[in-house]
Structure 1
Amino acid sequence: MSARELDAAGITAPSLRADYAVSRRLHAAHGRTYFLATRLLPPGRRPAVHALYGFARRADEIVDAPGPRARKAARAAALTTLERRLAAALAEGPGEEPAVRALVHTVRVHGIDPSYFAAFLASMRMDLEVTGYADYAELSRYMHGSAAVIGLQLLPVLGTVTDPAEAAPYAAALGIAFQLTNFVRDLGEDLDRDRVYLPADLLAAHGVDRGLLVHSRRTGRGDPRITAALRAAVALTRAVYREAEPGIALLDPASRPCVRTAFTLYGAILERIEAEGYATVHRRAVVPRGRRAAVALGGMAAAARVRARRPGAPARRATPGAPA
């Protein structure tokens, strides 16, 4: 199936096909929800999404590598190496590792603004230094690079039926909504890495601090104050989803089933968190396989209807080299 995607995208060079295959495997192994939704895109657009995810995953693997924080200097050096390799490949090509080569090809084909990757890597570097955020404004500065620009990177691949500048704020908001969902879902796992992404003032409003979270994680005991704080975090996240949702209608119709499916599946994570009593400090909430399958089938049906209608108006794309 990956060969069909590469053929549809016009990627013929054997070495480049191998690079994209590496990114696709990273996507399939580590981004289950995103990967499932990506399957609903036209085959020719999927390799670009795999490349974008694959590069992001490489950076994640560096900053989240297991081991004591004493290895922070090594992680920082590895992130600097990745950043330099990307800059060199963008300037000269083709790059020194598969994820970079696939990404640079995608950037050039789809005209993605390279500054988005500088912002992304700056946020990844923050993960080596910052362990908490005082308020939502402070967290938003981190999420600009770690989440908002991901939506902006994807926009030229997905295509729009309007000026891409009109769709961009919605794409950025959806990236943030997905990441906020991860922050709530992965609270316990992030604590194990000495990180708390939920704003400290939101937690404090319900009598929660880092010490209480750590105690609850270590003892396995729940606390009504944590439940109340997570309920507020879920409400905040849902507000960002509502902000982002109108942007789906601005996308190329062929891309809407993919994004709608990701939107629904990530929203279902919040539903599971609620159903399980906001226990994410102890365990990760997982959407049941049956629910995932039902949503995916609905997305497949929507994608089939779009293909059957064969809309005559082509999607507008971002100008190559300009921000989406």
Structure 2
Amino acid sequence: MLTGRFALLEYDVPGPIVMHERMILDHVESDDYVVCTPDRDLFVEQLTVENSDLRSFRLRPQPHQLPPGVPLGRVYALPAWNAGEIAAIKDEARRLAQAEKAQRGLAQAGGVGPPLGPPVPVATAVLAEAGSGGAGVHQLTPGVPTWVAAEAAGGFFFGQVVDGVQSPAVPLSKAVAATKLYEMGWKLTGPRTAQWCLNYLVVEGLGLEAHHERFRQLCRLDSAAWGVQEHFQLSMMLRQLLQVDCYNGCNSMGIELMFRRLQTMEYAHSEKARESEPRLAGGKLALEEQYVFGSVVRHAGTLMIAPALQSHVKEETEREVLLAKNLRKAKEERELAAKKGGKKKDGKGEDGP
């Protein structure tokens, strides 16, 4: 769900590149949302790369913060509305969303139903599920959103208040305060990269669908290029598994294999991205060299390829090359020894008296 976020849309039109900011106000269905433009126009728009009107769209990582690679001069940003104006915009967006849902047959029979009541706070939901005698329940205040443990793991029990979460507590929202890798006995060679990839996506701030679009732009690929359609389908599968089904992406072998495949395809096209880097960044140094000189850890500026996986592939490839080289040399030595032995038997290879 993108409600409450701010999107930057690049329309597929000729002329200079302009990123139009949209305030995402309400959800209609699927990828359709009610948005507000800088001119205060409200309408329903499809926020996905499948929208043929868009060349790309990105999300602000935080309000007033631009995603990597988007210069401020190209953004047609929203104005600084006051609290009263924002409240009026949200009220208008709610009515527009209800009318659109009714037109699509998504509302209650007979027209738009009554407005929903206030959401149930997290603390109240935990109280109802755990019961009045559950451990840690006495620490919760009904009606006050509180971060609590959703399961008994990592030294926490269900319903226990979790301190140190940086995000503000919002009713019905979820957050992962800490993760831990467990040995699962997988028959998988090389490092586990899912956690690295998830951290990369958080730093990048785009999400899986927009990351796919960025991968295409960096490598200058069209939809018919090798691996592009598979990259998109795997990205959509991962989005549903992680955001809808709420799988633990750090401890799922299937998700690890999906991330491995995504990294394989991005690595296969990485040379195309490197070829354009000096022209984009200026000078003759690659971006990796510039980041090393500046002592900066480069996350959002590269493709999604875990360094540990690259090192593993390099070591395994070098080992196989060395093995093949040794086998070839051993074969040559055996063939040479066989030739010398044949000459001695014929008396042609012996020294004279």
TM-score (norm 1): 0.27
Structure with a larger share of its residues in helix = 1
Looking at both structures, which has the greater relative contact order when contacts are Cα pairs under 8 Å and sequence separation is at least 6?
A: 1
Structure with a larger share of its residues in strand = 2
